[in-house]
Chain A
Amino acid sequence: MVTELSCCLTPLVVITYNPRQLKLKTTMLKQLQELKLKALQELESIRDFKQLESWRIQYLGKKSSLTTMLRRLASLPLAERKTAGARANQVKADLEDSLRQKEQALREVQLATHVKAETIDITLPGRPAPTGRLHPITQTLNEICDIFAAMGFQVVEGPDVEWDYYNFEALNIPEEHPARDTMSTCWVETDSGERPMLLRTHTTSVSARTIERTTPPIRVVAPGKVYRYEASDATHVPMFHQVDGQVVDKGITMADLKGTLYEFARRFFGEERPVRFRCDYFPFVEPGVEMAIGCLVCDGQGCRLCGHSGWIEILGAGMTHPRVLQLGGIDPEIYSGFAFGIGIERLPMLRYGIDDIRLFYGSDLRFLRQF
């Protein structure tokens, strides 16, 4: 379709057939063929965009021989003009196509050269962004409080320096109770005649305060520091952390205690970790419970870490002692509850295989940066 030649070409003039122009047509077809071969040959050797532009002007420009030839088609008779025109347009389209391909090829080469010049050593370290970390104990406390918060527990805090009453008396541990011996206490100097003051030996003191000031339902966890009069070694420090929990409501059962603590163990230690509840004694609960998990090192086979028992004690718990509820002004005939206390340091020690508890409080960046 001659009339459909692209717009860059001069529109063809429709002329009538003339048999004398037959020879002209043959010559033209031959010329077109030669032109095409020559153009493609030259294109092959082109190496940059400047040469390419000259090539375009030479072969496809307004003054190119192809354009001229196309113009000359006008002198051919209609029938001839059709075939010759189609041929000429074909050659033009082929050349344009080749031009585009060449252009693309040159662009790729150019880009490759460019990019190569921009090569960097990607193994060099990045510009450091500021990185600090939460202390592993803070991380663990956050994790535990979040697990219990998801079960409707509210986080509460209380004083580190506590009256003897909330740390002991209110928890069913009167003066001269043998349980006091197992919690060597740091006493705080007071003026004579003042009530005895101490550094709390457990955050159960916060539970005692909560029971005293809250009308049930109660569902709280109390994270915080606790203190013991104990010399430091790899397994003892005079200050450590605890999360104490307390639930009081109508109809709370030991099955609820087990369910809640199972859920904690499942989320903290994973689905597969076996959990065991056994009888234990704490003055502020009855029945008393100890929860242990299957040893992380030997998976229950028995090793040094678990004292060859296959179990590692994680927390103490139990049904809140009626006396504790009574002292806090709650009627144990109407309400029941459970309590638990989790020692914190042990958990990251187990999780990361830390063998010296003092590392937590040595503030050594080489340790703290690992978490």
Chain B
Amino acid sequence: MKVPLKWLKEYIDVTLPPAELADRLTMAGIEAKGMQAIGGRWANVVVGRITAVNPHPNADRLHLPTVDVGTEQLTVVCGAPNLSVGDKIAFAFVGAELIDGHTGQRARLKTARIRGVASSGMVCSEKELGISDSHEGIMVLPPEAPVGTPLADYLGDTIFDLDVTPNRPDCLSVIGIAREVAALTGQSLRFPEVSYAETEPGIDRQISVEIADPDLCPRYCATLITGTRIAESPPWLQQRLLAGGLRPINNIVDVTNYVMLELGQPLHAFDYEKINGKKIIVRRATGGEILTSLDGVERTLSGNMLVIADAERAVAIAGVMGGANSEVTGETTSILLEAANFNPASIHYTGRHLALPSEACMRFERGIRPELTVPAIKRATRLMLKVGGGQAARGVADVYPGRQDHRPIRLQTDKVKRFLGAEFRPDQIAGTLSALGFDCKPAAPATEFMVTAPYWRNDISQAVDLIEEVARIIGYDKIPTTMLSQSLPPQNPDPVIGLKRKIRDRLVGYGFQEVITYSLTGLEMLNKLKPRTRVVEPMPIRLFNPMTAEQEYLRPNLRPNLLTALAANRRHEDGGIRLFELDKIYLRRRKDLPEEPEVLCGLMSGARNEPSWQGDGGGLDFFDVKGVVEGLLGQLSVEAGFAPGDDESLHPVKQAVIVVGGRRLGVIGELHPEVAGAFDITGTAYLFEIDVAALLPFTIEHKMFQPIPRFPDTVRDIALIVDAGVSHQQITDIIRGFPLVHRVAIFDVYSGGQVPPGKKSLAYRVTYQSPAHTLTDEEVNKVQQKILGRLARQLGATLRA
């Protein structure tokens, strides 16, 4: 909302400097987003009157106007085509700071000789004064402009750009802002004049108004002006509209807009001659009803939109836009003026569905009061008579089925203290509310008031609303600052939140960079994960109003965004890349919100170590990703096993499922080459994925202390030859099954060379230990013999020579 200071001053004496006023309004809830000073740099520019225009002796296109500046008559050289004797203009003396019409640069005006004639001063264009880009001719001022007055006094202004919150539609008007200023500064308000001469016959005999759907139209008022003349508005009116951000159209339409800006009530003017049956009916549109709106667009209306109709047809979309069939044109002589109140939700719905946002629409949908219609329609009628002439019919047609007067609210002053934590005196509270126009009646007991909101306020329904008024006008800075003194509520932290933090911290320690990607993804991306089937199953959850195809679905896994991130980074990173994301995925549930499991997904690709002058440790492989997962789960005290997997996005044999407590809680593996290719990933990548929330029960394991061994251990190495198909796990499962075996570690895997084809050699270091005594060689030998015996029987293992 743009509010010119000069306009504001019509209703209130403003004594504060503009910057301070802006600050006070901001603190009280109406943020001044900007402040534009017009004419702040118009020193040495005054209002002048052209008294003569003579031709330049040496140039056809130049003239020599003589200008009366009040104290003297000055003749200058001017090239403008629109010089005419008697016009009021802006005259710049030497020394004025003007914008050069051609270069756009600001420069100080000097005395010059132009084609042999001296020129001390200048008649200005709008561009030269910084008002607009117009430089075709000089700016002509209204005839009433006082000669000799500094232009800054006559035309200068400060325009506040105010951000009015949705709860204060009453402040979408200059008078509303003036009321705020009045309360903030203690000045009193001057309401604009609304009276006018009324003529017979009365309005009721010339139009009948019927509200068929009072739920959507609480009030409808109309006045009638006959014998009016449609013309361009006077300059003062045009200037006000332009300052308020509206385009002048003609005197009648301009007045409706002017009063909307002034008082906050949207109005609409019909050509009275075009109203059939001299009847106004406010009703819901019939489904499929068609109306061509003022902008020439044919609108198809639905049954829950409200229209203004005459005896035969709709003539306007209520509160949103008028119809072309009843438009005021240059030939119009009789005006039927409407000031009505409409249901905010209905206007919001209609405006949104017809995509017709407007200043009027915005005011209605925020909920203005029906009491506003009468003062606004009277004010507008008065102004129309002033700018267009004619006669106004006696009275206001007023149908008001939705009357809802403000009920008094009981305000206990000790409640103000309980709520704000600040003590305000009862007279301070009553004084503040009264300054805002509230009616404050003392009640019993003396610390209470019965408070009634003024007619223009629509946002006051309970005591807290009054408390806010008191707080914001007195100032939030007057409220003290205290720390919470209540006893601490019991704490029951969600263990998943803690687990997520632990996992993130650990992975960062492993050299992984956390990324956060959009929760939304595209079907095409998801399909790339399925080299075989090319079908995402089950279908992910779709947005009703997706912005782009890349952000159309809620991600059912973290993979596509992470793989995209890897591919993008690979373009500028040649070392190892380790990325992870730990966040929600979204899985469809019937007739309920989706399931949102927290999932960890990690990717590693490239060199094992960062490239260094000591080498990069070679390329990562399956066992790097397995090591990360083993390390992470070990840290979380989760015992996990690994079994062959069948994830379509992973390499058919270089993958495993992570099995915890018999449940498959994740996968690890090398990316399927086709998936890597589909995501433009150079080289290969290793992925791990763990269902974090499902992991939780396994992390809360009850640990028991293990005593530190008191007796020395005995270490034996065994090198075995087994069939290539025998797994490490099978061997260690057997060895671990024997007593006294404390630890088994593999330290070599080898095939080829002296190992026969189809076989492989595995070397283990077995640590024997007894909690009770120092082991003898014989004891260890006996166990080892048994181990070798069982390995031979069950796995065909032989000792390597």
**B510–A132 touching, CB < 8 Å:** yes
Q: How far is the CA of A239 from the CA of B344 in the complex (A)?
A: 30
Q: Would you give the 0/1 interface string for B455-480, flagging 1 where the beta carbon is closer than 8 Å to chain A?
A: 00000001011011001100011011
Cβ of B491 within 8 Å of any chain A Cβ, yes or no, is yes
Q: In the complex, identify which listed stretch (B195-203, B591-599, B700-708) lies at the interface while the others stay far away.
A: B591-599
Q: How far is the CA of A279 from the CA of B165 in the complex (A)?
A: 10
Cβ of A17 within 8 Å of any chain B Cβ, yes or no, is no
Cβ of B519 within 8 Å of any chain A Cβ, yes or no, is yes
Cβ of B271 within 8 Å of any chain A Cβ, yes or no, is no
Chain A residues near B520 (CB, 8 Å)? 238-239
Q: In whole Å, how far is A309's beta carbon from the nearest beta carbon of chain B?
A: 8
Q: Would you give the 0/1 interface string for B574-587, flagging 1 where the beta carbon is closer than 8 Å to chain A?
A: 00011100011010
Q: How far is the CA of A308 from the CA of B543 in the complex (A)?
A: 39
Shortest Cβ distance from B462 into A: residue: A322
Cβ of B29 within 8 Å of any chain A Cβ, yes or no, is yes
Q: A137-B516, A138-B514, A369-B513 are in contact. Are A319 and B421 (CB under 8 A)?
A: no
Cβ of A203 within 8 Å of any chain B Cβ, yes or no, is no
**B419–A253 touching, CB < 8 Å:** yes
Q: How far is the CA of A272 from the CA of B772 in the complex (A)?
A: 66
Give the contacts of A153-186 with B (CB-CB under 8 A): 154-157, 159-163, 175-176, 178-179, 181-182, 186
Q: Would you give the 0/1 interface string for A196-236, flagging 1 where the beta carbon is closer than 8 Å to chain B?
A: 01010000000000000000111100000101011100000
Cβ of A294 within 8 Å of any chain B Cβ, yes or no, is no
Q: A152-B484, A253-B421, A260-B483 are in contact. Are A287 and B471 (CB under 8 A)?
A: yes
Q: Would you give the 0/1 interface string for A112-137, flagging 1 where the beta carbon is closer than 8 Å to chain B?
A: 00000000000011011111111101
Chain A residues near B515 (CB, 8 Å)? 135, 363, 368
**A157–B494 touching, CB < 8 Å:** yes
How many residues does chain B have at the interface if contact means C-beta atoms less than 8 Å apart? 97
Shortest Cβ distance from B565 into A: residue: A363
Chain B residues near A231 (CB, 8 Å)? 547
Chain A residues near B467 (CB, 8 Å)? 286-287
**B419–A289 touching, CB < 8 Å:** no
**B501–A187 touching, CB < 8 Å:** no
Chain A residues near B513 (CB, 8 Å)? 132-133, 365, 368-369
- Contacting residue for B543 out of A134, A182, A187, A363, CB 8 A: A187
**B543–A189 touching, CB < 8 Å:** yes
- Contacting residue for B344 out of A130, A176, A217, CB 8 A: A176
Q: How far is the CA of A190 from the CA of B593 in the complex (A)?
A: 10
Shortest Cβ distance from B542 into A: residue: A189
**B419–A319 touching, CB < 8 Å:** yes
- Contacting residue for A286 out of B464, B510, B519, CB 8 A: B464
Q: In whole Å, how far is A366's beta carbon from the nearest beta carbon of chain B?
A: 7
Cβ of B155 within 8 Å of any chain A Cβ, yes or no, is no
**A279–B476 touching, CB < 8 Å:** yes
Chain A residues near B577 (CB, 8 Å)? 365
**B514–A134 touching, CB < 8 Å:** yes
**B483–A280 touching, CB < 8 Å:** no
Cβ of A297 within 8 Å of any chain B Cβ, yes or no, is no
**A238–B543 touching, CB < 8 Å:** no
Chain A residues near B366 (CB, 8 Å)? 178
- Contacting residue for B573 out of A188, A250, A365, CB 8 A: A365
Q: In whole Å, how far is B420's beta carbon from the nearest beta carbon of chain A?
A: 5
**A278–B476 touching, CB < 8 Å:** yes
Tier of interface size on chain A: 35 or more
Q: A154-B493, A218-B489 are in contact. Are A238 and B481 (CB under 8 A)?
A: no
**B489–A217 touching, CB < 8 Å:** yes
**B569–A363 touching, CB < 8 Å:** yes
Q: In whole Å, how far is B527's beta carbon from the nearest beta carbon of chain A?
A: 19
Q: Would you give the 0/1 interface string for B619-643, flagging 1 where the beta carbon is closer than 8 Å to chain A?
A: 0000000000000000000000000
**B476–A336 touching, CB < 8 Å:** no
Chain B residues near A262 (CB, 8 Å)? 481
Q: How far is the CA of A315 from the CA of B551 in the complex (A)?
A: 28
- Contacting residue for A131 out of B479, B480, B501, B511, CB 8 A: B511
Q: In whole Å, how far is A223's beta carbon from the nearest beta carbon of chain B?
A: 9
Give the contacts of B473-526 with A (CB-CB under 8 A): 476-477, 479-489, 491-494, 496-497, 501, 504-505, 507-520
**A187–B345 touching, CB < 8 Å:** no
**B489–A154 touching, CB < 8 Å:** yes
- Contacting residue for A322 out of B464, B480, B497, CB 8 A: B464
Q: In whole Å, how far is B679's beta carbon from the nearest beta carbon of chain A?
A: 13
Q: A138-B516, A178-B166, A253-B420 are in contact. Are A130 and B472 (CB under 8 A)?
A: no
Q: How far is the CA of A161 from the CA of B594 in the complex (A)?
A: 7
Q: A138-B514, A161-B593, A176-B348 are in contact. Are A186 and B543 (CB under 8 A)?
A: yes
Give the contacts of B405-430 with A (CB-CB under 8 A): 418-422
A-B contact sample (13 more), CB < 8 A, given A152-B489, A219-B489, A363-B569: A124-B613, A132-B508, A151-B484, A160-B586, A181-B348, A197-B593, A249-B489, A253-B482, A254-B422, A258-B480, A278-B28, A362-B568, A363-B564
The 7 closest A-B CB pairs, nearest first, are A130-B511, A255-B421, A253-B421, A279-B29, A176-B345, A281-B165, A363-B565
* Cross-chain pairs A/B with CB under 8 angstroms, 27 sampled: A132-B514, A133-B508, A134-B514, A151-B484, A152-B484, A152-B491, A154-B489, A155-B493, A160-B519, A163-B593, A176-B345, A188-B543, A189-B541, A189-B543, A252-B484, A253-B419, A255-B422, A258-B481, A259-B481, A259-B483, A276-B477, A286-B465, A287-B467, A288-B165, A309-B26, A363-B564, A365-B513
